[in-house]
Structure 1
Amino acid sequence: MEHGDFDEPFIRRGFGDGAGGGLRSCREYPVYTNNYKFSALAIFGSMSYKAKRLWGWEMLQCGVEWRPTLVKRVIEPLRTSTRAAKVATDEGIGFLKGMGNPAGPVALATELVAAELARWLGLKTPPFAIVQLVDLDVPMIERGYMLHGPAFISKEIDGLTADGGDVFLSRLHNPEDISKLVVFDTWIRNADRCPPDPQNTPYNRDNLFFTPSGRKFQIVVFDHSHCFVEGTLEDELGQPHLLDDERIYGNFPEFSAYIRPDAVQAAVARLRQIDTNVVQEVLGSIPQQWGISGSIKAAWCHLICARANKVAEFIPGKLLDEPGLCLE
């Protein structure tokens, strides 16, 4: 399948269109075989990862771990760039970003796409979903109300933000995630965590979260509303600087002692496995109401795939003393 093979609207292979333009989880669709009814979730749950890949299925994570269907009340509007709100849902508390926010619908799309790519790369994110705003008016500070329709929501989880030291880093359950995070942020050009030019844009350790894992911690990444482009997708996709940018993102000063050659090697090897079909599936899950056209998805797909290979080529030499370890 070529990068331009997006139908308008683009529907994820094998599954139907969900309410409000969002895509339902595969677990909602029953499968009938020999007069017996099975849930797709049960079938997937019994299959090995290799078997799923042989069948050509890549499991999207949106709405799999956590699937609220109703925003019940607003707990607190937040003064963020997207004017998010802390809300109570029928499945617990979450952080909601909706249409009509100052950063525009591109912020919702990049949030969803980056969350899926983070999971694909092997990073931990809060459980996330698309929820329909129907009857409740959710206020945005100095911005009126979120528009009704599909909104991005992530689940509230326990943990602490980064302290700028190694209190959490030295007690990580998966220390390889430090290297993986730098590779990931560089891939998606995420300047909203640790930018490549901190003298112009300060560090944002609020977007680096640590959640307890027994007596240790796990890195959790979230808030990816400002990735890939600085402005709008329509204006910037296709511009050469998006692909040619070889600056390192996400590399906090306190990370230096924890960047490991084997972890960088594993992350680079995973990047080289990026598949056009996987990226198209991710982009195809963007709700239609967010206004990302088929042509924009095609250009975005090309950037994601091409930049994965580009980052795999240059990042070892910038992160490691012996970059050849990652080039095999």
Structure 2
Amino acid sequence: MNYPKAIAHKGPVGYGATLPQIFSVEGLGDCLVKFAQSDHGPKALANELIGFQVADVLGLEHPECGVVEIEAEVLPDDGKLEVTSPSGDRFTFLPGLAFYSRWLPSAQHPTPDDLNTLELANPRMLAGVVVLDLLLGNWDRTAANPNLLLERRGQRRLVVIDLGLAFGGGLWELGNLRDTSFPPLYDPLPYGEDLDRLLRTVNPATDFSSYLGKMSELSRPRLESIVGTIPLEWGISSREREALVDYVCTKARNLPAYLEQRLQKQEWWR
């Protein structure tokens, strides 16, 4: 398969556990790039690739993303890229296939006031993000870093980013994928920090229905096609690929009934 190629390294993003970098990519401009050699490993890249294709099925907006080819010639340290984490850990990023998403320089994290007061092109999308997180077992959102962006050019719109910790994180094993349960109905959704002010902006009577209506589109053949886009180079075995399909397929089948019960609570996220 032919993938777009990086043509220049622009520098580090400056934040993010996977130590993402900015590259200029042919035909795409500046892109955020994540490497398989970060401490989250190649499964985090597979999580992103699967997660954003599931987001497409739901109709959620996100930066253009996919697989990018990184050749040795664009890496500044003799054909590799030496990086150091804020804690002092050193990593060597190597040529090969990585994950990219288009860089959105004008986007910022939304605040509850943004969601309440601005005219948004996609005001119901936060409900879709909750549906996505329930499908993927992705709880990497906090009030300080909701892994959402507000694109402020033109009509303001929410975009979802960073699904690397889906399926419980980048170091999942087959056993993790056998657990297709949802959070207990009377427990809070297990986000990392209090998201009440953001989640209060969701109207449960109207905002979830269009996303739940998409569950039937997450058929086994569709999911097999999505999982089939994971490059062999990332080392995801055939058993793991089958388990990923089973995981999302099972959750998509069971999610509407679960969420119907959860939404009977006034504060459905708690």
| 1:192 paired to 2:133 | no
Q: Residue 129 of structure 2 aligns with which residue?
A: 181
- The within-5 A match list for 1:92-103 is 92-103=29-40
Moved over 4 A (4+): 249-252
* 1:106–1:232 contact (8 Å) kept in structure 2: yes
- The within-5 A match list for 1:62-77 is 68-76=4-12
Give the counterpart of 1:243 among 178, 181, 184. 181
Give 1:239 deviation, angstroms: 3.3
Give 1:321 deviation, angstroms: 5.5
Q: Distance in 2 between matches of 1:249 and 1:208?
A: 17
- Unaligned segments of structure 2, at least 5 residues: none
Give the counterpart of 2:95 among 140, 143, 148. 148
Give the counterpart of 1:86 among 22, 30, 41. 22
Give 1:149 deviation, angstroms: 0.7
Give the counterpart of 2:225 among 270, 275, 281. 281
1:16-39: per-residue Cα shift (whole Å, max 9, x none)?
A: xx15xxxx6xxxxxxxxxxxxxxx
| 1:128 paired to 2:76 | no
* 1:116–1:282 contact (8 Å) kept in structure 2: yes
Distance 1:213 1:89, change over 3 A: closer
- Unaligned segments of structure 1, at least 5 residues: 1-17, 25-67, 195-202, 323-328
Q: Residue 115 of structure 1 aligns with which residue?
A: 52
Which one-letter code corresponds to 1:180 in the other structure?
Answer: G
* 2:150–2:157 contact (8 Å) kept in structure 1: yes
Give 1:73 deviation, angstroms: 1.8
Q: Distance in 2 between matches of 1:120 and 1:109?
A: 17
Give 1:69 deviation, angstroms: 1.9
Which one-letter code corresponds to 1:294 in the other structure?
Answer: S
Please state whether the residue corresponding to 1:261 is helix, strand or coil.
Answer: coil
Distance 1:85 1:205, change over 3 A: same
Q: Distance in 2 between matches of 1:204 and 1:118?
A: 22
Distance 1:249 1:162, change over 3 A: farther
Distance 1:252 1:217, change over 3 A: farther
Q: Distance in 2 between matches of 1:204 and 1:108?
A: 23
Distance 1:274 1:249, change over 3 A: farther
1:89-134: per-residue Cα shift (whole Å, max 9, x none)?
A: 3331111101211111111110111111111110001011211111
Q: Residue 225 of structure 1 aligns with which residue?
A: 164
- The within-5 A match list for 1:268-307 is 268-307=212-251
| 1:312 paired to 2:219 | no
Q: Distance in 1 between matches of 2:199 and 2:239?
A: 38
* 1:168–1:217 contact (8 Å) kept in structure 2: no
Give 1:313 deviation, angstroms: 1.3
Pairwise CA RMSD: 2.4
* 1:95–1:153 contact (8 Å) kept in structure 2: yes
Q: Distance in 2 between matches of 1:294 and 1:180?
A: 30
Q: Distance in 1 between matches of 2:56 and 2:16?
A: 24
Which one-letter code corresponds to 1:308 in the other structure?
Answer: A
TM-score under structure 1 length normalisation: 0.68
Q: Distance in 2 between matches of 1:252 and 1:88?
A: 38
1:57-100: per-residue Cα shift (whole Å, max 9, x none)?
A: xxxxxxxxxxx422312322534221211222333111110121
Give 1:299 deviation, angstroms: 0.9
* 1:162–1:168 contact (8 Å) kept in structure 2: no
Please state whether the residue corresponding to 2:152 is helix, strand or coil.
Answer: strand
* 1:179–1:263 contact (8 Å) kept in structure 2: yes
Give 1:156 deviation, angstroms: 0.7
Q: Distance in 2 between matches of 1:312 and 1:228?
A: 19
Distance 1:134 1:182, change over 3 A: same
TM-score under structure 2 length normalisation: 0.82
